[in-house]
Amino acid sequence: MKKFITLLSLAILVPFFTQAQGLVDALRYSDFQVQGTARAGAMGNAFGALGGDFTSVSINPAGLGLYRSSELVFTPTFGKTQVESTYRGNLMTDSKYNFMFNNLSYVAALSNDNQGETGLVNINVGIGFNRLKDFNRTVLAGSDNMNSSFLDYLADNATINNWGEFYEDLAWETYLLWEDQDNEGVYFHDLEGAYGQSQRKSISQQGYINEYSLAAGLNFNHKLYIGVSVGIVDVYYKESSQLLEWDAQNNIDLWDEMQFDSYLRTSGTGYNGKLGIIYKPTNELRLGASLHTPTFYNLHDVFETAMYSKAANDESEMGSHEAFSPYSEYDYDLETPLRATISAAYIVAKKGLISIDYEFTDYGSASLRRGSDGHSFVDENNDIAEVYKAVGNLRIGAELLATSNISLRAGFENYPSPFNSEAFDESQPNADSKMNVISAGLGYRTGGFFFDVAYRHVQNKTFDLLYPTPPTDFYPVPEMATFETVKNNVMFTLGFKF
């Protein structure tokens, strides 16, 4: 249990407590939900069999073959992300507003004049980007704690000779760790036997994953559509976090407060390929299937930490102290899992449609490779395979043509938890932490212009540690916090056909 909880803390709260690449990186850059146009967003992004929308290039590039005219679109999005935390019975809320572009794309429809309406009818080429993930949010959690401290983790690590220049060294330099004079090599801190300090943790996350695609779609007899795409994936992630503990009740001798800050910035690029097919056995029914290669990332991390304290020095004199870690840079590769999607759509009397996508991916197959220091990541990849599992993502959408110009839309998406419920033969608290998305919208089309709007409500609940579990049983396991995240986004797409 101790190993699993420690792994969980590293997986959830990196970079707050670890510089090492591992579980969190594998999931952070492998787990995403396509965010393209407002039409697709309103319909649950269930476009694997529908096509005719650039969002489909990131799902099933065969959808590009259904275009009958050239098109230019762009999609600005406004959103609010709110995180409600519960820690030791105390409720706190933080939120962040965002503006972003989820899509910009151009499709050129090239008809085959020599073939007419049989054989190869047209070849369409598209270029543009879809947003795959939005990292922007802020988190705040805190309470009084009568049982544990972040210093437990540092003292326990120091005692087992697991010193690190990003953590234990800083605590030592700021008079937060002490060596037992009667037991050489045993370390302790001033809160032992005097817990009751207040704690507050804040996290600010920023960034995105964008996919830039060049794709081609072929239309055979208006029955069979084949598509292929090459994607360049751009990653930017920044996280700043702060843990503050202080003696609000003035009950702790020779100790007032401590603050631990960490900063991580990850940037990089990756590449992937997609192959898809859509078949229309009847005019009403469309069936689709697609396969995505892994995305092969090259990533660059920048990491640093700092510690501040108001505590007594070795002469029992109170004062303010600070210490800073080295500035660390590290390069490594990441291979994300394959993805496969099967889809179906049914057109209802040319007045509406329903569509469904089922997407399979195995998060446990992600792997880290080629660290800049020669590290092979064998242990980390074994942990990835143990902690994460295969999932089936579900997307459902519907559209009703209310008038000749106006369409009404709705959708639902379900993304199961990627965590294995029995990793290391222990119960996983986040095994049921699925993400659900409810969406709705409308569209207006006239001549060569169209305008779409969508509202998306995203909700999920996770259980996380504010700081990691000490490596031995000398100190207690810290209590988990509950985080309920709600995202509300409004998307607008402007499009021009010609």
Q: Is 249 exposed, middle or buried (0-12, 13-18, 19+ CB in 10 A)?
A: exposed
- Which pLDDT score is estimated for 21? 65
Residue with tokens 């060596």, as numbered in its chain: 179
Position 22 scores a pLDDT of 82
Cα(first)–Cα(last) distance of the chain, in Å? 62
pLDDT number for residue 78: 97
Helix (H, G, I), strand (E, B) or coil at 118: coil
CA angle 115, 116, 119 (to 5 degrees): 50
Q: Is 429 helix (H, G, I), strand (E, B) or coil?
A: coil
The reply to whether omega before 429 is within 30° of 0 (cis) is no
Q: What pLDDT, on the 0 to 100 scale, is given for residue 112?
A: 67
CB-based contacts of 391, cutoff 8 Å, min separation 6: 360, 361, 362, 363, 415, 416, 417, 418
Q: Do the beta carbons of residue 409 and residue 440 sit within 8 Å?
A: yes
Structural element, H or E, at residue 96 = strand 90-111
Which 3 state secondary structure label does DSSP give 368?
Answer: strand
CA gap 313, 322 in Å, rounded: 12
What does the block give as tokens for 238?
């920044």
Mode of pairing for the β-strands spanning 285-292 and 255-279: antiparallel
Give the bridge partners for 81, in sequence order: 96, 487
> Sign of the CA dihedral 55, 59, 61, 66?
negative
Give the number of other CB atoms < 10 A from CB of residue 180.
11
Q: State the pLDDT at residue 251.
A: 84
Structure tokens at 331: 């390069």
pLDDT of residue 361: 98
Confidence (pLDDT) at 63: 96
How far is C-alpha 311 from the geometric centre of its chain's CA atoms? 38
Within 224-264, residue ranges assigned H as helices are: none
Three-class secondary structure of residue 453 per DSSP:
strand
Domains annotated for the chain, with CATH where assigned, are: 2-497 (2.40.160.60)
From first to last of the 498 residues of the chain, give the pLDDT tens digit. Answer: 455 454 554 444 444 444 456 889 999 999 999 999 999 999 999 999 999 999 999 999 999 999 999 999 999 999 999 999 999 999 999 999 999 999 999 999 987 665 567 889 899 999 999 999 999 999 999 999 999 999 999 999 999 998 999 999 999 999 999 999 888 889 999 998 889 999 999 999 999 999 999 999 999 999 999 999 999 999 999 999 999 999 998 888 889 999 999 999 999 999 999 999 999 999 999 999 999 999 999 999 999 999 999 999 988 899 999 999 999 999 999 999 999 999 999 999 889 999 999 999 999 999 999 998 889 899 999 999 999 999 999 999 999 999 999 999 999 999 999 999 888 877 788 888 999 999 999 999 998 999 999 999 999 999 999 999 999 999 999 999 999 999 999 999 999 999
pLDDT of res. 16: 42
Q: Dihedral (C-alpha) 489, 494, 495, 496: value to the nearest 10 degrees?
A: 180
Q: In this structure, how many other beta carbons lie within 10 angstroms of the beta carbon of residue 196?
A: 14
Q: Break the chain down into helix, strand, coil percent, rounded to 5.
A: 15, 55, 30
The residue ranges of DSSP E strands in 349-478, in sequence order, are 352-362, 367-369, 390-401, 406-415, 435-446, 449-465
Alpha helices in 127-243 (DSSP H): 150-159, 168-173
The CA distance from 153 to 167, in Å, is: 10
Contact 408, 400 (CB under 8 A): yes
Task: Give exposure, 363-385, as e/b (b: 16+ Cβ within 10 Å).
Answer: bbbbbbeebeeebebeebbebbb
pLDDT at position 412: 98
Q: Which residues 6+ apart lie within 8 Å of 63 measured at CB? A: 47, 48, 50, 51, 52, 53, 56, 57, 217, 225, 227, 276, 278, 288
Which pair of structure tokens corresponds to residue 345?
């759509």
